[in-house]
Amino acid sequence: MADRGRGASVATARPREAAPVDAAGCARAPRRQRAARPGREHPDVDDLDSAIATLASIRRELEDGPVEKRDAVRLVEKLQAGFPHQALTEAQAETYARYLRDLDTTAAEALIEELIATSVEFPRIAELRRPIVEAAAGIPEPAEAYRSLSEPGGDVHELAREVRDLMGGVWAFKTSENPSITRAQFLKLYGEKREELLRSANVTHFRTAA
């Protein structure tokens, strides 16, 4: 009876020998998971690149100025759409947006629409800024300024008065023996000073808003 009891004890102990096999089977599972991991690297990289691009885009669009950056970006997109033959690089598009954001949005959009309708060449930044700054400055054209000097009670711009004074004042204009020469001299001097003022106003306007 004792021998059968020991035999039974041995018989019940044998199934435990299968446990290492099960344990080994469990140990192989992590190795199969690790083997699958390299295939997941590409989605992670793509997601990271996408997130970086999105954050960069949001950062650029949230930059504020007298004209919000998103409006300037929209103006550049409209400009690009109107001149599809001129493909701007990202750096060029950002430069255009930077130099448009201090301008009045309505005036800039109207100018872009006019250029799209009338020009075959892609406008440079100066061609976009100059008309808007010039209109805002309100300095008369040379011919208009000269004409205002001869109109009684006319609205004479300060620059026109300054140039007239440099040329001898009201008396010199009234008593000139050759009005055509006086006019030509006025137009030249006034035009030069007007150009200086407009250039200064353009740069100052941009720097103040930057």
pLDDT of residue 209: 66
Q: How confident is the model at residue 28 (pLDDT cuts 50, 70, 90)?
A: very low
Residues 6 or more apart in contact with residue 67 via CB below 8 angstroms? 100, 101, 102, 103, 104, 105, 108
Residue pair 67/100 in contact by the 8 Å Cβ criterion: yes
Domain assignments of the chain as residue spans, ordered by start: 45-137, 142-209
Render pLDDT for 86-139 as a digit per residue (tens, 0 to 9).
888 989 999 999 999 889 999 999 999 999 999 999 999 999 999 999 999 999
159 contacts: CB under 8 Å, gap ≥ 6: 139, 145, 190, 193, 194, 197
Q: Residues 173, 164: contact at Cβ < 8 Å? A: yes
d(CA 193, CA 157): 13
For range 72-84, the mean pLDDT? 92
Q: How high is the pLDDT of residue 158?
A: 95
Residue 135 is predicted with a pLDDT of 93
Amino acid at 79: L
